[in-house]
Amino acid sequence: MYKAMDAARDAGTKVAFTLSDSFVVDRHRTDLWQLFREGRIDILFANEAEIMSLAEHDSAEEAALAVAAEVPTVVVTRGEKGAFALSGGKKVSVAAEPIERLVDTTGAGDLFAAGFLAGEARGLGTERSLRLGAIAAAEVIQHYGARPEADLRALAGGLLG
């Protein structure tokens, strides 16, 4: 992992990291904080439970603020409550995208991260990147399986430019 992070840095790119699961956070909390303090992570993705576990705080927003002191961009997904990001000292929030029916949440976090990173790679800014993440996550939770079935570019509409 360190070699991959170093290679990314050497190539002039950012490093994004996801917490994956509260169990992982509980087991590796000290190591994660070390990564943050070493400046190895540029963008951190977490859901509410994961960020609260990491910071050992009972508020997702307060926990994210604690992590944002070490990580330039912290993105927190909140299920049907949408998502928020702390970046550059600012908080940006978006609502969840409307869905017809929740079927399977497998892959929702990964698709959210993919949408967000696609927006960031295009320089679209935090709010539009969050919206792209929400669109991608909303698509994948409406069917079984972790791969999108709809054309995400079409769903994004004018957001991609």
pLDDT tens for the 161 residues of the chain, in order: 999 999 999 999 999 999 988 899 999 999 999 999 999 999 999 999 999 999 999 999 999 999 999 999 999 999 999 999 999 999 999 999 999 999 988 889 999 999 999 999 999 999 999 999 999 999 988 888 888 777 787 788 877 76
Catalytic residues: 110
Q: State the pLDDT at residue 63.
A: 97
> Rounded to whole angstroms, how far apart are CA atoms 161 and 119?
10
Tokens of 140: 């994948």
Q: State the pLDDT at residue 127.
A: 96
- The CA radius of gyration of the chain, in Å to the nearest whole number, is 15
Q: State the pLDDT at residue 77.
A: 97
Residue from 74, 76, 72 nearest 39 by CA: 72
pTM of this structure: 0.92
Beta strands per DSSP E along 6-161: 16-18, 43-47, 73-77, 83-87, 90-94
Q: State the pLDDT at residue 161.
A: 65
Q: State the pLDDT at residue 149.
A: 76
Contact 83, 134 (CB under 8 A): yes
